Amino acid sequence: MFLLVFALISASYFLKRSLEDGERSRYDILLHCILIITSVVPPDLPMQMAFAINTSVATLMGQQVFCTEPFRIPMAGKVTACCFDKTGTITTDKLHAAGVVLPPSHPGAKESERTLGGLHPMTDASYETCLVSGGCHSLVVAAGQILGDPMETAVLDSLGWRYSSDENVARPFQGIKDKKGAEVKVASEVPRETSIKVLHRHHFQSKLQRMSVVAQVTGPKENNGANTYVLCKGSPEMIQTLLDNTHRAQLDDWYANTHRNLAKQGYRVIALASKQVSTANAKKNCTKNRAEAEQGLTFSGFVAFNCRNRADSIQIITELKQSNHRVIMITGDAILTAAHVGTETNILRKDKSKILILAEIEDKKSGSSELVWQSFADDSVVAKFSANEIPALFLEHDLCVTGSTLMRAGGDDPTSGGIWEHLHCIYVYARMKPDHKEKVLNGSNSVAGLTPQQEAWAKDPMVSETVRKARAKMLGQQDEIKHRVTQKKQQGEWFAEVKVRIEMAQEQQEQLMKEKQEQAKAKAKGPSGSSDNSSGAVAGATGSAVAANKPGDGKDTGKVKKKGDPKSPWDMLEDQDMGEAEMVKLGDASIAAPFTSKMPSIQSTIDIIRQGRCTLLSTIQMYQILALNCLISSYSLSALYLDGVKYGDRQMTLMGILSTICYLCISRGTPLPKLSPVHPPESIFHPALFLSLIGQFVIHLCTMMYNVELAKSTLPDDFKPDVKGKFAPNVINTVVFLTSCTMNVSGPRITT
């Protein structure tokens, strides 16, 4: 709008002067006025913007980050908060079954001498625990390997069981060995002849927080017959609601205290339950009615899992916080487990007494419940919940909530106010369902800026469609971490290594082609020594040599440029250096998010933000430069045009070359290795940028007017500008060219 206003002023000035002169036709005057007005739209802006975006895409691909929506790269520079999932993102996805907690009624529960922190070894698991662990899962067998949820495979391996997906049968198996080569012992309470055949599965759902199966168990403990069971596992809170009323009363406070203590130690706790049903009832009700199958269960124990944090998670999260990014954890795990991981990874402070959890406490006398802030350290009540008191608590504590308490505190509408207005004060969200995550992210975007969510989106398909400012995570091989480390070497060392490898590859290719040609010539001559069709044989051998030299990943590096000459490896390296990267192929990226990284690390989050900031600042800088040039152009087309100022062909060519070099340097800018705590401005209309643009324009305009006046003073008194004539060198033309050229070249340096 500002450029348009200035262009209208310039066009009005030109129109007034031209009409007063009376020597030009109205058609020429109107045409020139239109030219002045349209000059405020930079014709090369789309090209410069596309070049900057393409350069950023190529840079990210070099860092193993694939982008399917390049227009979101500048948006990454505006990010103020980063939301991470826990399992598989901040931590590894390799779970280890640490142990089992037996029900209090089990005889082995009192043998505490073999336990550590209340846990029994997996080999001491009870019969019911083994039935649920070995039968309630959704694993499949492919190429002789058991595939599926890492938690389920970890339990099966620790119990020494095997599963056949063709028969839908799980059984103990003798001879299973762990990673160290030691034989895995099978639980002593489970006879070797026991087998579990899955009849029907009620698959896991995030909203229900559980899964169950209807299975037929055969073995000595089943009176050498077959009995039907409902085997169920899920979150401790959900399983507790499904237990038989009598059994639930017997467990009383032991149940909650046990799984909470395990969660505070960082374990991921899964509750197990089961019940025996008649075969007729199983076929009639349990396989068709999930609610019927999962009610009146008997508690079978807890299984605790530990999962190590990724090696670089603490460093990356610390760097994000130092750059003034809010780091948030959004997970479906238990709140205590998530809080423990938060303290280990620097999301939450180390002092656990300063961590508050929003909990729902029920008054047994009145039967009512209320929300309170509990201390993570000792479960003591610090304060009753009040949305208005959240900012005050935030000053001294780190706040954590669950999906259920969040919904009760704020309702289902993120725009209703209350706790939704203070989402920036909460660092950990646990037991979050897909719709809860959607509301938190949408609410955070409306309150505190962009929040990219990073997690394995396959777990929650609903979120992938609604949360577009996301970064997908596709787990790669661990040796890719070493590849990233090598990329951090100095630039000179990297190019030296690439040069050696290319030379070796070229020598190998030439040697292979020579051998193929010699073989083809010998074959073409035959016993009689005739050389007919030898050219065709040599051509075929050359083609096969080039094909044989292709790498195994399917990339067509053997393409020829012309007349059969293979493309030089140096040309390939130069193409990559110039940003001519491959297009993203199917399988490289996840359709759930604009950015996909194949690295098993959250390092790519920093890479995306860093490159986003660089692209955003380059974009703003180009806007400033082009806006400044358009303002000067409007002045040149109006006032200076009436003074007869023109540019020669050589002058225009030189000015274009210098401007292109400046734009090229800006668009190929590289981000700083460390994120700055000062966030970049999000728009060119930021007061500082707008005032800078106005200030530079005033300085340029005053400088141009002053230099033109000085040049006019050297002209003869009878000098009359030739507006319609051709270019002729004179003092005023030379002064304007040198001043304009200096402004165009120095503009990018001043706006930087």
pLDDT at 50: 81
Query: Residue 701 pLDDT more than 80?
Result: yes
210 Cβ contact list (under 8 Å, min separation 6): 204, 232, 233, 234, 235, 238, 239, 242, 294
pLDDT at 46: 78
Query: Residue 148 pLDDT more than 50?
Result: yes
Query: Residue 207 pLDDT more than 70?
Result: yes
CATH 3.30.70.520 fits 96-306, yes or no: no
Query: Residue 577 pLDDT more than 60?
Result: no
pLDDT at 184: 59
Query: Residue 576 pLDDT more than 70?
Result: no
pLDDT at 527: 46
Q: Hey, which residues does 271 pair with through a beta bridge?
A: 234, 302
Structure confidence by residue, pLDDT tens digits, 374-389 = 898 888 888 888 888 8
pLDDT at 192: 79
Instruction: List the single range of 101-105, 510-514, 654-658 with lowest mean pLDDT.
Output: 510-514
Instruction: List the single range of 34-38, 121-125, 399-403, 718-722 with lowest mean pLDDT.
Output: 718-722
Q: Span 66-78, mean pLDDT?
A: 85
Tell me whether strands 298-306 and 268-277 are parallel, antiparallel or unpaired: antiparallel
Domain boundaries, the chain: 1-35, 42-79+602-746, 96-306, 312-447
Give percent above pLDDT 70 in the chain. 73
Q: Span 531-543, mean pLDDT?
A: 42
Q: How many CB atoms lie within 10 A of CB 8?
A: 15
Query: Residue 635 pLDDT more than 90?
Result: no
Q: Span 463-486, mean pLDDT?
A: 40
- pLDDT-based confidence at 231, cuts 50/70/90? very high
8-state DSSP, 567: P
Instruction: List the single range of 493-507, 512-526, 634-648 with lowest mean pLDDT.
Output: 493-507
CA angle 561, 566, 567 (to 5 degrees): 65
Q: Span 129-150, mean pLDDT?
A: 85
Compute the Cα dihedral for 688, 690, 691, 692 and give only its sign: positive
- Among 114-123, 176-185, 544-553, top mean pLDDT goes to 114-123
Query: CA–CA separation, 209 vs 408, rounded Å?
Result: 18
Closest by CA to 126, choosing from 210, 189, 186, is 189
Query: Residue 532 pLDDT more than 50?
Result: no
8-state DSSP, 640: I
Active site residue 571: no
- pLDDT-based confidence at 536, cuts 50/70/90? very low
- Write out the DSSP string of 200-269: EEEEEETTTTEEEEEEEEEEGGGTTEEEEEEEEEE-HHHHHHHB-HHHHHHHHHHHHHHHHHHHHTT-EE
pLDDT at 508: 59
pLDDT at 204: 87
Structure confidence by residue, pLDDT tens digits, 430-449 = 988 888 888 888 887 766 55
Q: How many CB atoms lie within 10 A of CB 250?
A: 15
Contact 2, 628 (CB under 8 A): no
pLDDT at 663: 74
Catalytic residue among 21, 28, 44, 85: 85
Contact 727, 647 (CB under 8 A): yes
Query: Residue 233 pLDDT more than 90?
Result: yes
pLDDT at 401: 92
Instruction: List the single range of 345-359, 520-534, 623-637 with lowest mean pLDDT.
Output: 520-534
Which carries the bigger pLDDT value, residue 477 or residue 17? 17
Query: CA–CA separation, 605 vs 10, rounded Å?
Result: 47
Query: CA–CA separation, 605 vs 509, rounded Å?
Result: 39
pLDDT at 270: 92
For residue 87 the two structure tokens come to 């399992």
Structure confidence by residue, pLDDT tens digits, 649-674 = 788 888 888 877 877 777 777 788 88
pLDDT at 177: 56
pLDDT at 459: 37
Contact 355, 348 (CB under 8 A): yes
CA angle 652, 657, 662 (to 5 degrees): 125
pLDDT at 399: 92
Beta strands in 342-478 (DSSP E): 355-362, 369-375, 381-384, 398-402, 426-430, 453-455, 470-473
pLDDT at 562: 44
Q: Span 184-191, mean pLDDT?
A: 70
Place of tokens 């890492």: 150
3-state helix, strand, coil in the chain (%, to 5): 50, 20, 30
**Rounded mean pLDDT of the chain?**
75
Q: Span 1-16, mean pLDDT?
A: 75
pLDDT at 548: 41
Contact 84, 330 (CB under 8 A): yes
Which carries the bigger pLDDT value, residue 402 or residue 504? 402
- pLDDT-based confidence at 751, cuts 50/70/90? low
User: Helix (H, G, I), strand (E, B), or coil: what is residue 388?
Assistant: helix
Beta strands in 584-719 (DSSP E): 595-597
